[in-house]
Structure 1
Amino acid sequence: MESADIKVYEFEYFKNHAHIVHGIFTRAGGTSTGTFDSLNIGMNSGDEHPAIANNRKLIIRKMGMKPLIFLNQMHGDVIKVLKKDDNDLSESFQPGKEIYTADGIVTDMKDVFLVIQVADCQAVMLYDPQKKVIANIHSGWQGSVKNIIGKCVDKMILEFGCQTEDIIAGISPSLGPCCSEFVNYKDEIPQSLWKYKIKDKDYFDFWKMSSDQLIYKGVKKGHIENMKICTKCNTDIFYSFRGEKKTGRFACVISIV
């Protein structure tokens, strides 16, 4: 039975488009306990697998009993492409299993939900309303350095003929510039990205970095929505690895309907 405590955030820019359904799930309303309380979907988080499986079923029920596609996320820049004319995608639709090792996924298929799991990293959702193509991207600091967002836009152009000026983007709750401290940034972040460092601090604005990566590819600034909710500052609502260390992962999902 669906929990009444499940709460879902939505992008305002996406709400006006009838052909997509999406949601950013909070940590509330699930079956996990302790530090994973409560809607944890992260299989590799250290939580009990039966609780995670139950949580995933709750999300499936909440989103309308459609298949959910989870990724084995590796902080890389691999992007999986699923096309509606692919022969057999049945193996993808197994709740609790991460079939594809990738950190981004793009599709023109209807009625399947693309899921990104995060706890400080960004889930960046893309939608082209003209071509009816969606993408969901896992972009932590390593993904930002590798520009997985820009590479995903390239995939949309190459594989589906998308025009960047049509693409709408949403950046999920994630680690904000208020909490993105990198004391070893000189070893971790290329000098070309130091312009995003907060003056006189070892903090970086990855929100602006992601927006700029989209804009550089041709996405209009007015088509980019950033929720600007810092996960570390809001551990009562979202999971945060920086804030809690041992913690769960919340779900960010999008589908074409």
Structure 2
Amino acid sequence: MEPFVKQVKEGQPALFTIASWMDQYEELTAGFTSRHGGVSEAPYSALNCGLHVLDKPEHVIRNRELLAEAVGQPFDAFTYAEQVHGNEVTIVSLQEKGIGRTSRESAIQAKDGFITKEKGIVLCAQFADCVPLFFYDPVQHVVGLSHAGWKGTVLNISMATISLMTHTFGSQPKDIRAAIGPSIGVCCYEVDDTVATRVYAVLEEMSAAPDEQLTVIRGKENGKYMLNLQELNRKLLVQAGIMSSHIEVTQLCTSCRSDDFFSHRKEGGSTGRMVAWIGLR
């Protein structure tokens, strides 16, 4: 069953929520935006939430306000960062609550993963094909969110996030729930030798058998490769100690489903950004 369930309410942005998590855990809000229900104009129409593209800042801020209204949390709870395709993870404190929501300069700088135990903070990360990784520990009441493009994935940002949850808040990997959100799928993600070499190195470090490697990456006749970044992240989560039964994996490809999502690759780089969010009410 698809874990990211589309929610459409009249007059609000269309959102994809992790419905099973939110049904089971009342304290949690978590999901992923669509491209529908905002005020931005083409090519960022309509719910672009990225201030770093060439959209009008006032449109982006209004879209972010609309997201907060639809989620049912105060706008000043939504906390943003400037992502750099790395594997550095930071703890978000109450002092940082709400930074970055109206300007890039005020955002958390040069980080791609975020964790918090504080209620009333909504962690946000931006996407347009890369893999959103959601983390929730219902025992220690900790949430996390990571941005995993191919660089962050081969740098194992999932392990970095889980390690920080463990060392800072006492989370146990066996208790953590993880979800892999809408992102470009193996159906559409063609990569070159530079990326493939890094991916094969990770698979070798994992001692992945040849048939396991084929679930992640396959060569093509044109010398390129088709990469399943979602499956590679799933394997890394399992390697980090997350139980397979505690991992939700989307079937939604942002490139195939450009009717619902922005896709940097499919739209030639001129497009908007979705937001993944997670927080404790």
- TM-score computed with the length of structure 2 as normaliser: 0.84
The reply on whether 1:96 has 2:102 as its aligned counterpart is: yes
- Does the residue aligned with 2:275 lie in a helix, a strand or coil? strand
1:222 aligns with 2:232: no
Deviation (angstroms), 1:123 = 1.1
1:105 lines up with 2:125 in the alignment: no
Q: Mark the runs of 5 or more structure 1 residues left unpaired by the alignment.
A: none
Of 168, 173, 176, 1:164 maps to: 173
Q: Does 1:6 align with 2:13?
A: yes
Is the aligned partner of 1:198 residue 2:218?
yes
- SS of the counterpart of 1:238? coil
Secondary structure of the 1:153 match is helix
Counterpart CA distance in 1 for 2:43 and 2:134 is 28
Counterpart of 1:14, as a letter, is W
- What one-letter code is carried by the residue in structure 2 that aligns with 1:78? E
Structure 2 counterpart SS, 1:142: helix
Matched, 1:37 2:45: yes
The aligned counterpart of 1:249 is 273
Counterpart-to-counterpart distance in 1, 2:151 and 2:225: 16
Distance 1:117 1:94 in 2: 12
Q: Provide the residue aligned with 2:78 in structure 1.
A: 68
Total equivalences in the alignment: 252
Q: Percent identity?
A: 27
- Quick one: which amino acid aligns to residue 78 of structure 2? L
Q: Tell me which moved more, 75-84 or 216-225.
A: 75-84
Separation in 2 of the partners of 1:51 and 1:186?
A: 35
Give, in angstroms, the shift of residue 83 of structure 1: 4.1
Is 1:234 paired with 2:244? no
CA distance in 2, matches of 1:224, 1:18: 19
User: Letter of the aligned partner of 1:6 in structure 2?
Assistant: P
Q: C-alpha separation between the residues in 1 aligned to 2:153 and 2:13?
A: 30
Is the partner of 2:108 in helix, strand or coil? strand
For 2:159, the equivalent position in structure 1 comes to 150
> Unpaired runs of 5+ in structure 2?
1-8, 204-212
Task: State the SS of the aligned residue for 1:198.
Answer: strand
Kindly provide the CA deviation profile for residues 17-65 of structure 1, in whole angstroms up to 9, marking residues without a partner as x.
1120112110100000111000001111111111111111111222224
Q: Does 1:212 pair with 2:220?
A: no
Q: Which moved further from structure 2: 178-187 or 134-143?
A: 178-187
Give, as a single letter, the amino acid of the residue that structure 2 aligns with 1:30.
Answer: G
1:5 CA displacement: 4.9
What is the rounded CA distance, in whole Å, between the counterparts of 2:12 and 2:193 in structure 1? 40
Aligned equivalents of 1:176, 1:183: Cα separation in 2: 16
In 1, distance between residues paired with 2:262 and 2:92? 29
Distance 1:186 1:72, change over 3 A: closer
Question: Contact 2:12–2:66 (CA<8 Å) still a contact in 1?
Answer: no
For 1:180, give the aligned amino acid.
Y
Q: 1:173 to 1:161 in 2, by over 3 A?
A: same
